[in-house]
Amino acid sequence: MEGEHERTTGARAAEEHHADIYGEDGAVLSSFLARIGAAIADRDTLTLKHEVDDLHQSELGDLLEALHPEQRRALVELLGADFDFSSLTEVDEAIRMEIVDNLPNAQIAQAVQELDSDDAVYILEDLEKEDQDEILSQLPFTERIRLRRSLDYPEETAGRRMQTEFVAVPPFWTIGQTIDYMREDKNLPERFSQIFVIDPTFKLLGAIDLDQILRTRRAVKVEEVMHETRHAIPATMDQEEAAREFEQYDLLSAAVVDENERLVGVLTIDDVVDVIQQEAEEDLMRMGGVGDEELSDSVLSTSRSRVPWLLINLLTAFLAASVISLFDRTIEHIVALAVLMPIVAGMGGNAGSQTMTVTVRALATKDLDIYNAGRIIRREMGVGFINGIVFAILIGIVAAAWFRDPNLGGIIAAAMIINMFAAALAGILIPLLLDRFKVDPAVASAVFVTTVTDVVGFFAFLGIATWWFGVP
């Protein structure tokens, strides 16, 4: 804090600072990129260090993503020991791997020691086993043990995401002692919002939020004000489940315990926010028929990763086509059926995907359970029936007018009611069944629902037409 001016314009300074790097649209400014690019071209290390010095790790991450691959490599190389490795936790996996693969293991080992353990693990976990071991072997003993422990927990568990740095005190200390300890100890974690209370064997006894410490008189004993850690997270708990605990109980951080209830780390809300984002994104991507691809993936790997979904859809498309081929003689007589049939199938598909979207999301957030499933199924059937009638009337009138044939209007109307109802049933029952059989409904629902609406739509429309017009 230097000087009155800077102080009173704190809020404005934030804006200005922000404006330094990002444009109106939230993208990194091209003028900033040009400056950095020029400095890289000139191999002007001094300017580069000055430019990136003030950047938050996420800002540096955004800069890395905006640069060309060669520039990226050159920047990291030129910054050397001044390169903030924590920025690597903020970039696409492909970019992270590209940068890390390009660095000598010794430099990575050096850098990793400066990081919080959760960030270090985040960078190390994607490396080849061989590189990982080499880097770990170059670390000091305690550091190595800590990281190894995190890495030994399965991927996507609380143990993998936890930070192994935390503040823990015995229950018989006073608040005063605790505060004095924190004033003295230089090895505190960079940021923390609660401290833990443990016994000599590291068994977790409780926790105190920092605001509680600040409200309490110095003479009071820790055990008198600590609260039971009702939300201790087993290290093997899935990160998504841990995130739900955070959300449900509005936690800022939570103790992570091993199978003997010993404190091994702390999970913090910032990691959890990433998990929440990631999980919501996963559902969205899966429903859109794409897997874990990233923007930085290449053409070939993207193309390959999208083929399986298209292949499955192809099978269902042939199934639908074979339903149509059952009625080829009818279509030959009344070609208007070929014109109108995609409407019946398509509207069913859209209605089905509405119901399915609601169902998949409600299952993911646990809002849909055995207590309301019956009510929701009845509701969706009701919606399917009402919207079926609404669109049956609408489409029936248009079709009858278009082809000047009331029969055609009546037939498409009847098929619409049937298919909208089938769409509602498929949209709710298929995700529920998949969930019951432990198949992720976000991945598999869409194929099955479209299959139902295509097959039922074509069969109902062409079948009723064949029967009504009496085509042999």
Is 211 a residue that touches a copy of itself (CB under 8 A)? yes
Task: State the minimum distance, in angstroms, from the CB of residue 35 to a copy of itself.
Answer: 15
Residue with Cβ nearer a copy of itself (156 or 293): 293
The verdict on 226 binding a copy of itself (CB under 8 A) reads yes
Which residue of 101, 125, 365, 467 would you call a contact of a copy of itself, by CB under 8 A?
365
Name the residue nearer to a copy of itself (CB basis): 129 or 438: 438
Examine residue 219 and tell whether it contacts a copy of itself (CB under 8 A). Answer: no
126 binds a copy of itself (CB under 8 A): no
Q: Which is nearer to a copy of itself, 161 or 361 (CB)?
A: 361
Q: Which stretch binds a copy of itself (CB under 8 A): 27-35, 73-81, 124-132, 151-159?
A: 27-35
Binding map of a copy of itself across residues 34-53, x = CB under 8 A, - = no contact: --------------------
- Four-residue CA torsion sign, 397, 400, 406, 409: negative
Stretch that binds a copy of itself, among 97-105, 130-138, 150-158, 317-325 (CB under 8 A): 317-325
Among 143, 156, 209, 440, binds a copy of itself (CB under 8 A): 209
* Nearest CB to a copy of itself, comparing residues 9 and 102: 9
367 is a site residue for a copy of itself (CB under 8 A): yes
- The one among 27, 41, 401, 439 contacting a copy of itself by CB under 8 A: 27
Q: Which one, 95 or 109, has the nearer CB to a copy of itself?
A: 95
Nearer to a copy of itself, 153 or 458 (CB): 458
Compute the least distance from the CB of residue 22 to a copy of itself, in Å: 9
Q: Which residues pair with 257 in a beta bridge?
A: 234, 263
Q: Please state the closest distance from residue 123 (CB atom) to a copy of itself, in A.
A: 17
Residue 199, interface with a copy of itself (CB under 8 A)?
A: yes
Euclidean distance between the first and the last CA atom of the chain, given in angstroms as a whole number: 90
- 335 is an interface residue for a copy of itself by CB under 8 A: yes
Helix H, strand E, coil C: the string for the chain is CCCHHHHHCHHHHHHHHHHHHECCCCCECHHHHHHHHHHHHCCCHHHHHHHHHCCCHHHHHHHHHHCCHHHHHHHHHHHHHHCCHHHHHHCCHHHHHHHHHCCCHHHHHHHHCCCCHHHHHHHHCCCCHHHHHHHHHCCCHHHHHHHHHHHHCCCCEHHHHCECCCCEECCCCEHHHHHHHHHHCCCCCCCCCEEEEECCCCEEEEEEEHHHHHHCCCCCEHHHHCECCCCCEECCCEHHHHHHHHHHHCCCEEEEECCCCEEEEEEEHHHHHHHHHHHHHHHHHHHCCCCCCCCCCCHHHHHHHHHHHHHHHHHHHHHHHHHHHCCHHHHHHCCHHHHHHHHHHHHHHHHHHHHHHHHHHHHHCCCCCCCCHHHHHHHHHHHHHHHHHHHHHHHHHHHHHHCCCHHHHHHHHHHHHHHHHHHHHHHHHHHHHHHHCCCCHHHHHHHHHHHHHHHHHHHHHHHHHHHHHCCC
Nearer to a copy of itself, 284 or 433 (CB): 284
Number of residues that bind a copy of itself (CB under 8 A): 146
- Does 250 participate in binding a copy of itself (rule CB under 8 A)? yes
- Among positions 53, 133, 270, 292, the unique one binding a copy of itself when judged by CB under 8 A: 270
| 14/106 with CB nearer a copy of itself | 14
Between CA 199 and CA 207, with CA 205 as vertex, the angle to 5 degrees is 120
Out of 46, 81, 219, 300, point to the residue binding a copy of itself (CB under 8 A). Answer: 300
Stretch touching a copy of itself by CB under 8 A, among 45-53, 72-80, 101-109, 352-360: 352-360
Residues 164-183 that bind a copy of itself (CB under 8 A): 171, 179, 182-183
Closer Cβ to a copy of itself, 126 or 224, answer by number: 224
**Spatial contact of 193 and 209, defined as CB atoms under 8 Å apart:** yes
Q: Is 31 in the site for a copy of itself (CB under 8 A)?
A: no
Residue 404 CA to its chain's centroid (Å): 52
Q: Does 455 bind a copy of itself (CB under 8 A)?
A: no
